[in-house]
C-alpha cells in the first residue's frame, strides 16, 4: 500500500472508509484478553527524526500522517472525513492491529483535537500518541493489548483553518478559535436542551456524519485554556438563567462520567491536584467538573455524542495556556501520556455483547436501555453493543421492532467486561382474540430513547405537577417513538 502517498492512494483510502462504513467490512477476532495483569505502559522514547516536539502546520501534519501510514501499514489507516471551509482535509488516523476493518465485538474509540483552532496542544499530543502507539506495539504489552482489542480513531485537528490563523505564545483570546466563517465548532452541534439555530458548518457536518457511521463507545475532545476533565451535560434545562447560574446538569450515567474523568485526571501529572490556572479562574476538586457546573453552553460536541449515539465523550482541558510556546510541548506530553492511554482502555469496562434473533442472526438497531439510565443506545449492524458501567447489578431493557421486548439482568465486576448475548423472540399476535384476552400480546412500553428533535429529557419530569404540560410532553414522547421507534 505504497499508494498512500499519492492522490490515487487517498482515493483508495476513502473507498476503504466507505467500505468500512457502508458495506459491512469486518473481521471476527478471538475473545478479549484482560488488561488488569499487564504492566503499565512504558515511557515514550521521542524520536525527533519522525516527530519533533514542535507545532506542525497542516502540510507537516499531513506529511507525518502519510509517512506513518506508509511505514506502519499493519497498524494504521489514514482517511479523511471531509474538508474544512478552506479545503484542508480533516484527517483521521486509525491505530489498531486491525486498522482497516472493524473487529466484531471490539470497541471503536476516538480522540478529537483542536476543535478550537487556537488550542493546539491536543493536536500535537495526538500526533505523538500515534507515534507512541506505532513505535511501542512490538515492545510494550499494554499497548499491544490495547491495539489488539480496540480500534482507535484519531482526528488531530477538527479546525485546521482556525489553527492556521492562531499565534504561538497566545494564552488567551479568541483569534483562531473559530472556523473560517467565524463559527465556534463546539457550539455548532444539535442540542439536547435548546434549539440550536447556528448554521451547521462543514467541519461539524463531517464529524456528525463520521459518528453516525461508526459506533464509538468512548471519546475525548482535547482543549486548552484550563486544566480539568469536564463531563456532560454541558447544557442545562435551566436555560433562562443560563448566564448566571452554574448548577450541575447531570446525566443518568453520572457515576460513569465522573469515573472516566477521574481516570484522566489521576493518571495526569497534575490535573487531579485541582490547582487553579490563575487566581481569577476556578479550582476544580480532583481536577474534574460537570460541564454545566463550570459554565453552561449550547451546541457542544460531548452532549451530542452521548445523547444521539450513546458515545461517552468528555472534554479534556490540558493546558492553562491555550497556545503555549513549543518548547513546553515535551512537558505536556509527559504530563498527559499515561492519561491518554489509560482513558482509552476504559472502553473495556462494563457490559458488551450481541442481540440476536431466534435464528442466531444479529439484530441491527435494537434499542437498549440500562434501567434507571434513560439515555439509550442501539446495536450495530452486527448486533453488537457496549456500555461502560461500574461494578454493580443492572437490568437492561432490549427492544426491537417486530420482537418481544426483553429485560435482562447482569452483574458488572471490576476485573473484566461482562459478556451478554440477548436473543429476542418475534412478537406474536394471536388472531381473533379480543383486546385484553389472556393470550393477546401487548408490547410493554418501549424504552424512551431520545431522538434528534425530540423533547428535552426533563420536560416530562419537570412538568408532572402540571396536567396540561404533562399531557403534551407525553403526547410528544409517543409521537416521537412512533415515528422513530
CB of 139 to ligand NAG, least distance (A): 14
- Give me the catalytic one of 203, 317, 346, 384: 317
Q: Which of 256, 214, 229 is nearest to 375 (CA)?
A: 256
Question: Going residue by residue from 9 to 48, which x/- string records binding to ligand NAG, judged by CB under 6 A?
Answer: ----------------------------------------
Kindly tell me which of 210 and 354 has the beta carbon lying closer to ligand NAG: 354
CB of 59 to ligand NAG, least distance (A): 26
Q: Report the Cα 429 to chain-centroid distance in Å.
A: 40
78: which strand partners?
93
Residue ranges in 410-429 that form contacts with ligand NAG under rule CB under 6 A: 419, 421
Residues 159, 207 contacting (CB under 8 angstroms): no
Rounded to whole angstroms, the Cα distance separating 114 from 225 reads 12
Rounded to whole angstroms, the Cα distance separating 311 from 418 reads 18
Distance (Å) of CA 450 to CA 26, 95, 373: 29, 32, 12
Question: Going residue by residue from 217 to 256, which x/- string records binding to ligand NAG, judged by CB under 6 A?
Answer: ----------------------------------------
Rounded to whole angstroms, the Cα distance separating 354 from 422 reads 6
Q: Which of 480, 452, 448, 451 is nearest to 461 (CA)?
A: 448
Rounded to whole angstroms, the Cα distance separating 122 from 229 reads 13
Residue ranges in 348-387 that form contacts with ligand NAG under rule CB under 6 A: 354
Rounded to whole angstroms, the Cα distance separating 216 from 236 reads 24
Distance (Å) of CA 78 to CA 17, 87, 152, 399: 9, 17, 12, 36
User: Which residues, 6+ apart, have CB-to-CB distance to 188 below 8 Å?
Assistant: 196, 198, 200, 201, 203, 204, 299
CB of 234 to ligand NAG, least distance (A): 36
- Per DSSP, helices labelled H in 296-352 are 301-309, 329-345
Specify the residue for cell string 484482560: 34
**Total residues at interface with ligand NAG (CB under 6 A):** 5
Which strands, in side-by-side order, build the sheet including 418-423? 384-387, 351-356, 418-423
CB of 143 to ligand NAG, least distance (A): 15
Rounded to whole angstroms, the Cα distance separating 458 from 1 reads 51
Q: Provide DSSP, 444-485.
A: PPPP----TTSPPTHHHHHTTT-HHHHHHHHHHHHHHHHHH-
Rounded to whole angstroms, the Cα distance separating 411 from 390 reads 10
Residue ranges in 66-105 that form contacts with ligand NAG under rule CB under 6 A: 73-74
Rounded to whole angstroms, the Cα distance separating 105 from 379 reads 11
CB of 382 to ligand NAG, least distance (A): 8
317 annotated active-site: yes
Residues 318, 230 contacting (CB under 8 angstroms): no
Kindly tell me which of 69 and 159 has the beta carbon lying closer to ligand NAG: 69
Omega into 233 within 30° of 0, i.e. cis?
yes
CB of 10 to ligand NAG, least distance (A): 20
- Three cell numbers, residue 312: 461517552
Kindly tell me which of 1 and 164 has the beta carbon lying closer to ligand NAG: 1
CB of 361 to ligand NAG, least distance (A): 10
Residue 368 phi/psi, 5-degree rounding, is: -125, 140
CB of 417 to ligand NAG, least distance (A): 11
CB of 296 to ligand NAG, least distance (A): 41
Which residues in this chain contact ligand NAG in the complex, by CB under 6 A?
73-74, 354, 419, 421
* Catalytic residue IDs: 317
Amino acid at each position: 500500500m505504497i499508494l498512500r502517498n499519492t492522490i490515487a492512494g487517498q482515493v483508495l483510502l476513502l473507498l476503504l472508509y466507505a467500505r468500512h462504513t457502508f458495506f459491512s467490512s469486518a473481521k471476527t477476532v478471538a475473545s478479549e484478553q484482560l488488561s488488569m495483569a499487564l504492566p503499565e505502559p512504558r515511557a515514550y522514547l521521542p524520536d525527533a527524526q519522525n516527530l519533533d516536539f514542535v507545532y506542525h502546520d497542516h502540510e507537516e501534519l499531513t506529511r507525518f500522517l502519510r509517512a506513518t501510514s506508509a511505514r506502519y501499514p499493519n497498524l494504521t489507516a489514514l482517511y479523511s472525513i471531509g474538508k474544512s471551509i478552506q479545503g484542508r482535509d480533516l484527517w483521521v488516523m486509525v491505530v489498531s492491529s486491525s486498522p482497516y476493518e472493524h473487529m466484531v465485538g471490539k470497541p471503536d474509540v476516538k480522540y478529537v483535537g483542536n476543535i478550537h483552532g487556537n488550542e493546539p496542544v491536543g493536536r500535537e499530543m495526538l500526533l505523538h500518541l500515534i507515534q507512541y502507539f506505532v513505535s511501542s506495539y512490538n515492545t510494550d504489552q499494554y499497548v499491544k493489548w490495547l491495539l489488539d482489542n480496540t480500534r482507535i480513531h484519531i482526528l488531530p485537528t477538527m479546525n485546521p483553518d482556525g489553527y492556521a490563523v492562531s499565534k504561538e505564545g497566545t494564552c488567551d483570546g479568541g483569534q483562531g478559535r473559530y472556523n473560517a466563517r467565524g463559527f465556534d465548532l463546539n457550539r455548532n452541534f444539535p442540542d439536547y436542551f435548546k434549539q440550536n439555530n447556528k448554521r451547521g458548518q462543514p467541519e461539524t457536518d463531517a464529524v456528525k456524519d463520521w459518528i453516525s457511521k461508526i459506533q464509538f463507545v468512548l471519546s475525548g475532545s482535547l482543549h486548552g485554556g484550563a486544566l480539568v476533565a469536564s463531563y456532560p451535560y454541558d447544557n442545562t434545562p435551566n436555560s433562562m438563567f443560563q448566564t448566571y447560574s452554574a448548577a450541575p446538569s447531570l446525566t443518568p450515567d453520572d457515576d460513569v462520567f465522573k469515573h472516566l474523568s477521574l481516570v484522566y485526571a489521576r493518571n495526569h501529572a497534575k490535573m487531579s491536584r485541582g490547582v487553579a490556572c490563575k487566581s481569577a479562574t476556578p479550582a476544580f476538586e480532583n481536577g474534574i467538573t460537570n460541564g454545566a457546573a463550570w459554565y453552561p453552553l449550547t451546541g457542544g460536541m460531548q452532549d451530542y455524542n452521548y445523547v444521539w449515539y450513546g458515545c461517552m465523550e468528555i472534554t479534556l482541558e490540558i493546558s492553562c495556556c491555550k497556545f503555549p510556546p513549543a518548547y513546553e510541548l515535551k512537558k505536556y506530553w509527559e504530563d498527559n501520556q499515561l492519561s491518554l492511554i489509560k482513558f482509552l482502555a476504559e472502553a473495556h469496562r462494563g457490559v458488551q455483547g450481541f442481540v440476536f434473533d431466534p435464528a442466531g442472526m444479529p439484530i441491527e438497531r435494537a434499542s437498549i436501555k440500562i434501567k434507571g439510565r434513560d439515555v439509550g443506545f442501539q446495536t450495530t449492524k452486527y448486533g453488537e453493543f457496549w456500555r461502560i458501567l461500574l461494578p454493580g447489578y443492572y437490568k437492561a431493557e432490549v427492544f426491537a421492532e417486530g420482537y418481544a421486548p426483553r429485560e435482562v439482568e447482569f452483574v458488572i465486576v471490576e476485573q473484566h467486561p461482562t459478556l451478554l448475548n440477548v436473543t429476542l423472540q418475534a412478537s406474536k399476535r394471536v388472531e381473533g382474540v379480543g383486546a385484553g384476552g389472556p393470550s393477546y400480546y401487548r408490547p410493554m412500553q418501549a424504552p424512551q430513547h431520545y431522538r434528534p428533535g425530540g423533547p428535552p429529557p426533563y420536560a416530562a419530569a419537570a412538568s408532572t405537577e402540571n396536567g396540561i404540560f404533562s399531557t403534551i410532553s407525553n403526547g410528544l414522547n409517543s409521537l416521537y417513538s412512533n415515528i422513530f421507534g
